[in-house]
Every structure is written in C-alpha cells, then in structure tokens.
Chain A
Amino acid sequence: MRHLRAINKKARRIDDLQTATDGDVVAMQQNANAAQRPHYPMGCSIVFSPGWEVDSSGGTAGLCQPVERDLYDCYISCYWPAQVPDHLNNYPEWTSKCAAATKDWRNIDLVFP
C-alpha cells in the first residue's frame, strides 16, 4: 500500500492480504503491462471450467464441471487443445443442431479425428 502505511501487526496482515490479491497472475490477459485493477483471473482452471490442467488423473468425471455437463467454454472460446472438439479450427458445426443444451444435448455427437 502506498497511501496507508501499516503500523501494527494486524495492519501488516491486512496489508499482506492486499498485496497477495494485487500479485495475481495475469499471464493470459491481453495486456499484461496494464495497470492492475481488480479482475477475474483468466484461464479455465481458475474459473472452474473443465480445463485439462486440473484433470490430474486423466479422467474428466471428477472435475468440478465435467465435460459431460459443460463443454462450451472449451469448445467455443479456447484455442488450447482440450478434450472436446474445437470450434475455432476443426469442428465449427459440432453443436449446430443443439439450440439449447438442456434439451438438445443428444444431438451433439462424438467426433473421430
């Protein structure tokens, strides 16, 4: 902190807490050099989408949002190789018959690369 100076022990702890939040990893943000402000951390592993990074045992069922339940994060927006077909390059039509996932999920088929 620059405008408040921690004086006692409790204040130092408050300060540390603040510094810890300030020091968030911003690796995937567009402009890493921009002034820091409160932000949502980027990256599927941190926002609890089924990113491969948190799939330590190789399966997907144990993930916080298993791919069986939510796949759009990985499918639509992410360039990173994931355990679902990718929209950006290879399977732009993959969910075209699925207007509402809750009803039409059966129309999303397997792909065989």
Chain B
Amino acid sequence: MQLQLSEFHQFEAAGHPFLYLVPSGGIFAVDDLSKRAIALLKESPRDAKALLDELVAGGASVEDAKNCIEELVASRAFAPEGGWKEPVDEAPAKFPLQTLVINLTNQCNLSCQYCYEFGEDKVATPEGKPKFMELETAKQSVDFLFREAAERKSVHITFFGGETLMNFPLLKQVVDYSRDEAAKRGVTIDYSLTTNGTLLRPDIIEYLTANAIGVTVSMDGPKEMNDQLRVFANGKGSYDIIAPKVKELLKNHNTRPIAARVTLTNGVKDVKKIFNHLKHELGFHEVGFAPVTTSPNRLYAIDENGLNGVLAEFEELAYEYRDYALRGEHHGFSNVSDTLSELHQGISKSHPCGAGLGLLGVGPSGDISPCHRFVDSDEHKLGHVSEGMDTAKQQDFLKHGHIHAKYDCHTCWARPVCAGGCYHEAFVRYGDTGHANLHYCDWIRGWTDLCLRIYGEIATHNPSFLNHFEQRKAA
C-alpha cells in the first residue's frame, strides 16, 4: 500500500511532539518512532513496506514499526494513496433551536461610533419598524423558541438591544411568561443579557441576581480607552457613568459569572492593560476581546500591522492564562478558555457558529434573523415569529455557510475550529455571509496554534485542569 501524509498540524508543547488531526479535531501525543515515520513521509510518499523497512533499519523492531504505522493510518494521520475521502454531510434539515436572542429594542442611549447596529457599516434597515418590542411579539417569540426547540430539555434566552435595559419592563414580562411556559413543558430555561451598563440600578441588579440572569457588559477598558468610541450622542465618554454601576453590579450579583466584552479598535488595542483594568481593578469574572467588525477603510479599523501587534499581546496574556492553569487557578481571559474548550472536545465544524442553526435572533418587529447582528435587516430575514421559519431561506443561508462551500478553506488546517469565521464579519467585508474571512486567516491559524500549544502544556503538566472543559458549554 502506498502511504502519504494526511492532514494535520504538528506542534510542540512541553518539549513533546503533538498532532492536531484535520478534519477530525483529534489531538494525539506522538512518540519518537511516529515522529520519524512522519518525517519520512513528509519527504515523499512511499510504500508501506518501504517505510517499515526504513524504520526497522533505524533501529525499531518489526513489531513496533508495524504497530506504529498501523496506528498512524488508523488515526488518519497517514492516508492511502489519493487521501481519505471525507463524506459531505449536509446541513441538517431540522435542527432544534437552543438559544433565542431577543432584541427588546433597537434604541440605544450611547452612540459608539463602531456600532454594527448604527455605525457606518450597519446591515440593519430599521426604517418603519417598531423601536420597542411589544409584549405580544415577545410572547410569540417565546412560543416560537419552545416550538423550534422541539425535544430539547433546556433552552436559553439572551436579551439584547439596542440597549437592552431601555426596555427593562418587557424583560421582566418575558422572564415571567417564559418561566411559566418552560415549567408547563418540563423544560429548563436560563437567561443572560448584554448591556452597556449605563442604566444599571440597584433594583435592576437585585432582579438580575434573584433570577440568576447572566450579565455581559460591553466596555472597552479604562477611561481613556473606553471613552474613545463609547460615547453619548453629545460626544461625552461613558466611563464615569458606567464604572460605579458596574462595581455595584459586581459586588452584588453573585448568582452568575459576570463578563466584560471588549471591542478592539485602532486606538484601543492595549490588551493587557485593558484586561488588568477590567479583571483586577473592576473585578469582572472574565474578559473577552474581539477586533471591531468594519470595512477596512474606517479610521478605527485595525490594519494588518495593528492586528499582528494585537496577536502578540494576546499571546502574552494567553501565557499568563497558561501559568494560572498550571497552578489550577482561574484566569478569566475568555478567548483562551473558549478556544481550549473547543479543542478539548475536538469539535469539527461544518459551520462557523450556531447562527441560523441552534441560535437565532429576533428583532423588535418579530422578524427572525440568523443572529443578533443581523436583526432588523430585511436582506437577512429568515421569517417572522408569528409565522415561523422561512425554511427555504434558512437552508440557503446554511448551505452557503457550509465549510464545503468555502473553497479557500479546504486545505486549511484550522478549519475544524474556524470553518470560515463569522457570517456578519464576512458580510461586512465581502458582502457575502458565505465568504471565508480571508483577512483573518493568519490570525486564526496563529491563535489556534498558540492555544494548541497551551492545551498541550496543560495536558502534560496539569491534566485535571481540563476537566473544566468536559461539559460542552451551552451556546
């Protein structure tokens, strides 16, 4: 049998060689003999017998060499001539809904310049649509969630905006209504919300705590950074308003971890400083970062140089995470824990995220969208909560977003975790949700490699830490 290398990414961690297999997502530590077998095949494909002879000539026993080759074939690190044929799995026709993101309002009291809902690159077309969701629409949304969740035993609602808390009364009504409905069906339900923090009040905090509603605060770091773009309509920064309220929230809300989400822009990319402020000075449980989604020519867009700098800073902070993990401590850099969780499961994605699949967004009008970022966009509407899904459009969206439709990704080793990246990002960049986010490939591969190395180190020196990732995180 003629043997050739199949697809994998080879990396070193804690001084040992590892393989990240593609597309299965399996991670194996390999011994010296396997490493040698791989090196030989890397030079050129060859007959299995010839490879065996070479390994034996190098000092291995026939038995060992044979086992070694068989294992490399069985794990699909090696392939017979022509490579393995991967079956093409289509998007499932029916996929039970798990998370509904409800945009309670599309109004906001801040005017962050980069906002994907109001900014220069917005996809929303809110003209003529309601600004605040009505109770009736909200109830229909909840009914829709339970209907589409089918057999699922637990569902999730994320409250979103605009600024979510501008419609706090409706939030409470939705919680009441959906709790009752969930109890009737014997389904568990939990909630989270995303807010800019400006409208937090003691009674709201008390309510969120009592109902175990998870909170994510959008905030960009210390004052001088946060206030660059997160401003009120009059241009005034929001930090001084938010900081005391957030402290209040962090002091009192103890039923769910509270997270900060940072948008990195050209002027705001001092990752470590931002992390230290939000984690250690304000006391967030975890902090996640994402570079702004924008067309490349905006003033606040991060150019390639800037991105490399950001990756270098991410790397430094990720090593800090690793050091914590090796001591068995919680660090809070959620970009790392999210990636490690995916690597631990060994997921291999057909689609980059759950949008349009297990997750949907609904706007104040009741229009359904693939996720919160497409809310209120006519072009991306996937139906209405009163009528149900437009399954033809949904299938079209999913077919388009399938990894098999992204030619550029077919030879990329990072595709099990990336699968082409965010649909919204792709739409803003390329006008097409199914386009691979090619401007991020180096970043994605660099980041995945970094997290693999960290994963390997943790697996070597403190494997019990990985138990945190045994349970797959809900969306």
Contact = CB atoms under 8 A, between A and B. Distances in A.
A13 B24 CA distance: 10
B28 A11 contact: yes
A106 interface: no
B26 A6 contact: yes
A9 B67 contact: no
A21 B71 CA distance: 12
B71 A18 contact: yes
Interface string B30-44: 110110000000000
A11 B27 contact: yes
A104 B231 CA distance: 93
Given A1-B75, A14-B75, A18-B75, A6 B28 contact: yes
A89 interface: no
Interface in A4-34: 4-11, 13-15, 17-18, 21
B68 interface: yes
B29 A7 contact: yes
A11 B26 contact: yes
Contact of B346 (A1, A2, A3, A9): A9
B405 to A, nearest CB: 24
Contacts of A8: 25-27, 343-346, 455, 459
Contacts of B28: 1, 4-7, 11
Contact of A14 (B18, B24, B64, B70): B24
B24 A10 contact: yes
A18 B73 CA distance: 10
A2 B343 CA distance: 22
A16 to B, nearest CB: 11
B11 to A, nearest CB: 11
B25 to A, nearest CB: 5
A40 to B, nearest CB: 17
A21 B70 CA distance: 12
23 contacts: A1-B28, A1-B75, A3-B31, A3-B64, A3-B68, A3-B72, A4-B34, A4-B71, A4-B75, A5-B29, A5-B30, A6-B26, A6-B28, A7-B28, A8-B455, A8-B459, A9-B344, A9-B346, A11-B75, A14-B76, A17-B74, A18-B75, A21-B74
